[in-house]
Structure 1
Amino acid sequence: MRENAVRRPVVPEVPSRSGGADDFDARALREETAARFVAAVDAIGAGELSFPLPGGGATAERFASLRAVAEDDLCLARLVEGHVDATAILAELGGPAPAPGERWGVWAAEPPGEGLSAVRGDDGRWSVSGLKQYCSGAHSCTHALVTARAEDGRRLFAVPLAKGAYEPVEGSWQALGMAGSDTPDVRFRSAAAEPVGGVEGYVERPGFQHGGIGVAACWLGGAHAVARALRAAAHRGGGQHTDAHLGAVDIDLRAAGLLLEAAAADIDADPLDAKGEAGLRSLRVRGFVEAVCDRTLGHVGRATGAGPLCHDRRHARDVADLTVYIRQHHAERSLAELGALVSGREEA
C-alpha cells in the first residue's frame, strides 16, 4: 500500500466522546479507547482480527497486526497487546484460553513500592493483596495476569477483576501521553487468584522474550504514525532539509521493520529457545526499535517545527503517546544488560 493511501481503520470506530475541538478530557478519552478495546476483542473472537500465537509459524503476522493497531492508535494498541499477550502466556503455561467476552491484561510491572503478595489458604485456594502499579485497561479489563510474591517466590496468577476485590486508584494515572490507555495503580484486597505456571515461570519461559518484541512492534507502529506529518510536509514540498529528514526516517523505519521480520522468523525456527538466543534477540530488537522511535520523534520535530504539535491534535497525541510508551524500554539499563551478554560475562 502506498504510504499516503487512505488506511481502513484497524478496528471498528466508535462515536467520539472526547469533547470539542479545544477540549482535552482524559476520562472521555479513556472511555473512548475502552469502547474500541471492546470492539477489538470482539473482532478477535470473530476472526476479523488475527494475532497468531508466537512461535507457531506466523509470528511475522502477529507483529504486523500489532504494528497496524499501534499506527492507528497507540493507546488502543497497549490494551490489545496486553490481551493477546495474556492469550499467549496462558497457552504457554497451560492455562485456559480467554472465554468470549473476556478482556485480559498483563499487569507484571514491579517498580519499587508495596507490590502484591499472594497467600494460600488452608483450603488450598490462593488470593492476592496489595498495590499493583501500571495496570493498563484497569477499568475495561475483565481479567488480569498479575505477578505477586508468594512464600516460595514470585508467581503469576490469573485474577478475575471482581468488584470489591480490586479497585483502580483514582488520580494515579496523570499522563497526557497514553492517557487513553487507562494505566493507574490498582489496589487488590484478598482477590481470588489461580496460579499460572510455577515459581518464576512467567519470566523464565521463552515467550517472555517473544512478548517483549511484540511490544517493540507497537512502538514501531507509533513511529510510523508520528512520521505521517513529515511525509505530508515533504509531499507539499518542504524543501531539501525536509526531504533529508524524511530520508533518514525512511531508512530507520525500513530497517526496524526488517529486523522485526527477521526476529519473527528466528522465533518460528526456535520457539522454545533451544539455542538460548531469545534474550539477546529481544534486547537487540527492543533497543534498536526504541532508538528508531527516538530518532523519528527528533527528525519529525526538527523538520516540521511547532506547527503540527500545536495545530494537529492527532499528531500531538501521536507524539505524546509514543514519547511515553517507549519509556517501557529500560534505556541504559537494558543496553548494559545487552553489553554484558555480548561480552560473554553473562549467559543469555
Structure 2
Amino acid sequence: MPAHRDPRNTPLLAELPLTDSVAGALGAADGIDGFGTDVAATLGWAVAVGAARAADRPVVEDWSLLASVASLDVAAARILEPHLDALDILDQARRLDVDVDLESIGVHPGSSWGVFAAEGPGTRLEAHRAATGWRLSGTKPWCSLAHELTHALVTAWVGDERRLFAVALRTPQVDPHAGPWHARGLTQVMSAPVEFTDATAVPVGEAGWYLRRPGFAHGGIGVAACWWGGALPLRDALLEAARRTGADQLSRVHLARVDTALWNARLTLKAAAATIDADPDPALLAGRVRAIVSDAVETALTEVAHALGPLPLVADERHARRVADLQIYIRQHHGERDLARLGGSVSEGRGEW
C-alpha cells in the first residue's frame, strides 16, 4: 500500500482548492505523533480544529475536512466528527435563540464533546426535572470515548419523547463502563455504556428538536463523508497494484470497480452539498446519500481483499488498521434496516424524482 497519501491532492470537490481552515487542520495533523492512535493528542487537535472553523462556512467545507482527515486516518475522523457535530448542534440552538446554560456544567474553550444518541434493548436513559434543574438517570449505550471526553450531548427520554441534554462527563454522577469492547477496528475509540445517577443536565432545545432539526441530516452525511474518505487509500492500493510490472487484467477490473463506486459516491456527496439547504426532505436525502456511500465503501473493502489477498492484512500495519477501522465504522449504517426505512419513505410518496 502507498506509504502516505496527501489528502490535499484529493479534496472532496477536486475542482476547488482546500480552504485555509481545512489545509491548516491537515497541516497540524502532520505534526502529531500517533495521529489517530494517541487519543489524547488527537482530541486536543480536534478541539483546536473546532475552535478555528469559520461560523459561516459552507457545509461542503466540513465534509471535505472530514473526508480528508479520514483519508489520513479513519480513527482520527471518528474522533473529530462527533466533536464537530456537537459544536454544530449547539450553534444551531444558539441561532434559534435557545438558551443553553453551558457554564453551569463547566464548559470551557478546551472542552471536548461527544454525541450520545443511540438506543439499545434493555437500556433507557430518563430525564426528570428536579427543584434545582434537570437530572439524568439510567444507562446510555454506545457512548464513544466517554472516558476521554469532558462533555457530551445526550438524548434522554422525557415521557414518550426524546430530548437532548448537555452534560459534564467527569463527575461522580456519570460512570462510563470499561467495556465490553473487543473490537479489532477502532480499538482506541471505545464505545460502551454509561451510567447516569441523578446527573446534572442542561436541555438543548425542546423535546423532539434534536431529531427534527434540518442539521440532523448534515451530521448524518458528514459521517458518510468520513466513510468515503477512509476508503480512498484502498483505491490507491489497487492503483499501485494495477501499475506493477506484470499486473494482469483482473487487477484492472478490481481497480475499476472501486474507482467507479467511489466516484459515484463522490458525485453523490457533491450533489448533496449543493442542494441540502434547499431540499424539502433532508432526512430522505441523507438516507439516500448514506446508502450510496456505504455501498461504495463495502465494494472497496471487498475488492481490495480479493485483489491483494492476505499479505497487506498481515504485513502492512496501516492497511490492516484502515480495513479493520472501516469495517467497524461502516456499521453505523444499519444495512437493510436503513434501506427498509428509506424504502418506506419512498413508498409513502416522499422524494419523487
Is 1:334 the equivalent of 2:338? yes
After TM superposition, the structure 1 = structure 2 runs for residues 131-146 of structure 1, keeping only pairs within 5 Å, are 131-146=139-154
Alignment of 1:47-86 (within 5 A): 47=52, 50=53, 58-86=58-86
1:163 matched to 2:167? The reply is: no
Match of 1:232 among 234, 237, 240: 240
Note if contact 1:128-1:189 (Cα within 8 Å) is conserved in structure 2. yes
Distance 1:140 1:4, change over 3 A: closer
Instruction: Check whether the contact 2:163–2:203 (CA below 8 A) recurs between aligned residues.
Output: yes
Q: For 1:173 and 1:166, how far apart are their aligned partners in 2?
A: 19
1:338 CA displacement: 1.4
Structure 1 residue 345: Cα displacement: 5.4
In structure 1, what residue type is equivalent to 2:287? L
**AA at the equivalent of 1:292:** A
Unaligned runs of 5+ in 2: 9-25, 95-99
Q: Structure 1: 5+ residue runs without aligned partners?
A: 18-28
| Aligned partners of 1:12 and 1:36 also within 8 Å | no
**TM-score (ref. length: structure 1):** 0.85
Q: What amino acid sits opposite 2:304 in the alignment?
A: V
Describe the shift of the 1:167–1:332 C-alpha distance in structure 2 as closer, same or farther (beyond 3 A): same
Q: Percent identity?
A: 43
| Coordinate RMSD, CA, aligned | 2.5
Distance in 1 between residues matched to 2:272 and 2:154, nearest whole Å:
27
1-side partners of 2:58 and 2:110: how far apart?
25
TM-aligned CA deviation for residue 117 of structure 1? 1.0
1:7 and 1:85, CA in 2 relative to 1: closer, same or farther beyond 3 A? closer
1:12 Cα deviation after fit = 4.5
Match of residue 22 from structure 1 = none
Measured in 2, the distance between the counterparts of 1:188 and 1:5 equals 42
Q: Which residue of 2 aligns with 1:288?
A: 292
Q: Residue 12 of structure 1 contacts residue 40 of structure 1 at CA under 8 Å; is this kept in 2?
A: no
8 Å contact kept, 1:229–1:308:
no
Q: Distance in 1 between matches of 2:334 and 2:31?
A: 33
Is the aligned partner of 1:248 residue 2:254?
Answer: no
Provide, for residues 65-121 of structure 1, a one-character-per-residue CA deviation record: whole Å limited to 9, x for no partner. Answer: 010111112112112100110111111123478741011100001121212111111
Aligned mates of 1:170, 1:78 — CA distance in 2: 19
Distance between the aligned counterparts of 2:49 and 2:88, measured in 1? 17
Contact 2:145 2:191 in 1 (8 A): yes
Q: Single out whichever of 168-177 and 62-71 deviates more from structure 2.
A: 168-177
| Residue pair 1:159, 1:193 contacting (<8 A) in 2 also | yes
- Alignment partners' CA distance in 2, 1:101 and 1:241: 51
SS of equivalent residue, structure 2 residue 192: coil
Q: Equivalent residue for 1:257?
A: 266
Which residue of structure 2 aligns with residue 314 of structure 1?
318
**TM-score of the pair, normalised by structure 2:** 0.84
State the SS of the aligned residue for 1:106. Answer: strand
After the TM superposition, which residues 67-216 of structure 1 pair with which residues of structure 2 at under 5 Å, given as runs?
67-94=67-94, 95=100, 99-123=108-132, 125-151=133-159, 153-216=161-224
Contact 1:105 1:137 (C-alpha < 8 Å) held by counterparts: yes
